[in-house]
Amino acid sequence: VFQLSVPLNFLGSVYREIRQSLMDMETLFNLQKVNVAIKDAPDAKHLKFAKGGEITFENVTFGYHADRQILKNLSFTIPAGKKIAIVGPSGCGKSTILKLLFRFYDPQEGRILIDGQDIKGVTLESLRKAIGVVPQDTPLFNDTIEHNIKYGDMSASPERVLEAAKKAHIHDTISKFSEGYNTMVGERGMMISGGEKQRLAVSRLILKDPPLLFFDEATSALDTHTEQALMQNINSILKEKARTSVFVAHRLRTIYDSDKIIVLKEGKTAESGTHRDLVDTGGVYSELWSNQETMFSDDEREVEIDDVN
Ligand code: ATP
């Protein structure tokens, strides 16, 4: 019996290992939303950052289906090292812009350039390595918190993991878990909140330290105070390293200090400029801003009352 149970146990653990890696592959697959139709061109080159990460959309038209265009002849430039925000009503194509930059899809017309190179002509590997993203919903691997952060850079030392977690305002939370950084998360680990997941994703990104950083509603699950503190840290990292960043956000408080704000409407740029420019223009953005300002003041009043209690 003993002799038999050993190999069975062994097989059981091998099976668990295999299941685990399959789950991880699935997560990775979802994360990268692999589109098999997109392949390297035969003469694809390694993406180079000669200008420091300038992004250009040149007359881009795109739809997921032929009969419905999401982006219509869209053109804009994001200068290297600048913070840009894309705002607009739900479904107007903000996340689609990020997906095109990852080359999960190719535009039907027009070109997307990074430092002058059409992304259709660069290797997918070099393109995706150069981009770090905090997506709307961050997939977690069935592994420890430490591993989940290290996914940004597998060679990172525990000290760098800790530093990244501190900058992402998640270190204190992790420290309170009974097993700290060794706590298992993911589908079969501890359940963590949406806001904790977002901050884990930010620490992963800080560790990866890519030339291009995208934030898709990256702080939407956080309370106003944590969001502001995290945004301050993110902004100082972006400034210090002069990284090009693109923020998709509904809460304008997180992006009003961007170098440029692009307001999308029906697949086109409705207006663009700095916060000041757009407020002065008195258009769509200005209206959104004044509505949200009233909302935020109400939020803050509530928080203050809670603090007193
Ligand atoms: P939100 O603010 O709600 O996140 P968004 O501006 O980021 O919206 P997108 O996610 O870019 O909008 O979606 C733009 C449009 O494309 C929507 O109508 C959406 O339903 C559609 N869409 C998004 N992904 C796909 C897909 N994989 N296949 C078909 N249609 C899609």
Rounded to 10 degrees, the C-alpha dihedral 193/199/201/202 comes to 170
What is the rounded distance in angstroms from the CA atom of residue 172 to the CA atom of residue 100?
36
Residue nearest to atom 11 of ligand 1 (CA): 93
Mutational test site, ligand 1, from 60, 94, 99, max ligand atoms within 8 Å of CB: 94
Instruction: Evaluate: CB of 94 within 6 angstroms of ligand 1.
Output: yes
Distance in angstroms (rounded) separating the CA atoms of residues 254 and 217: 10
Distance 91 CA to ligand 1 centre (A): 5
Percent of the chain with pLDDT over 70: 83
The two three-digit tokens of residue 2, written as one number: 């003993």
Please report, as a single letter, which amino acid is at residue 190.
M
Whether the model pTM is above 0.90: no
Alpha-carbon separation of residue 245 from 26, 196, 304 (angstroms): 28, 22, 32
CA of 63 to the centre of ligand 1 (A): 10
90 lines ligand 1 (CB under 6 A): yes
Kindly report, residue by residue over 99-140, the tens digit of the pLDDT: 999 998 999 999 999 999 999 999 999 998 899 888 887 878
Q: Whose CA is nearest to atom 17 of ligand 1?
A: 91
Which of 62, 70, 90, 214 to mutate to test ligand 1, by most ligand atoms within 8 A of the CB atom?
70
Question: Model confidence over 287-309: pLDDT tens digits?
Answer: 999 988 766 555 544 443 333 33
> Could you tell which of 57, 95, 248, 265 is best to mutate to test the pocket of ligand 1, judged by most ligand atoms within 8 Å of the CB?
95
Is the CB of 251 inside a 6 Å radius of any atom of ligand 1?
no
Do residues 303 and 222 lie in contact, with contact meaning Cβ atoms separated by under 8 Å? no
Q: Is 83 in the pocket of ligand 1 (CB under 6 A)?
A: no
Amino acid making up residue 172: D
**ipTM of predicted assembly, 2 dp:** 0.97
Query: Could you give the CA distance from residue 150 to residue 119 in angstroms, rounded to a whole number?
Result: 27
Encode pLDDT of 78-100 as tens digits.
999 999 999 998 899 999 999 99
